[in-house]
Structure 1
Amino acid sequence: MSTDDKRIREFAYQIWESEGRPDGQEHRHWEMARKLAEAEALAPSKPPRATRAASAKPGKPATKPKAVTKPAAAAPLVPPGEKVPPEGKSSTAKKPRAPRKPAAS
């Protein structure tokens, strides 16, 4: 048995199992598996990588791409005479707690 036939058999078995192992579908499963194996054989083994080195001009060294950083968050505007809140703290005042209900007696 050739390698292609083994691969087709594996695909057909996987298809058969994925469909709940139905009876009488061998021919359809085999055809589906044959097409999958054929497509797999025609597909390149490694997808081509687009790199700067490939697009660089001959004789020039390829440059390493720079890391992308997020811009720093804008500092909040603080009116003159007010204090700047510490890092991670909100400048808004906390809400006052609601008064407790009197205990039932």
Structure 2
Amino acid sequence: MSTDDKRIREFAYQIWESEGKPVGEESRHWEMARKLAEAEALAPKKSPKAAAGKTSAAKPAAGKAEDKLNGKAPAPAAKTKAKPAATAAKVTPPGEKAAEKKPRAGKKPPAV
């Protein structure tokens, strides 16, 4: 099995799970997964280091040049945290509606 087939299989499984594991939708899931895998393969690839280096290096460099001209000490760079994978948004396949989240029920007061 090629890596493309494996990726399509992974996408199809994720779609199947996200729809509540319905029976008889295999061909539709497989076609949606194939389209997602094609789009992923055609998307330009950037390394995480290159993307992070461009955004974080551009802002402080401008501030340092200004500070040198004004004789001031450079301000510390702001740090940002990456989102954990568990809280990342799920991808909704094309042509599908996003599942609406149910509101969480509040805690019940303790029985007296």
TM-score range, shorter chain: 0.3 to 0.5
TM-score, normalised on structure 2?
Answer: 0.45
Between Structure 1 and Structure 2, whose CA radius of gyration is higher?
1
TM-score, normalised on structure 1?
Answer: 0.48
Greater relative CO, 1 or 2 (CA 8 Å, sep 6+): 2
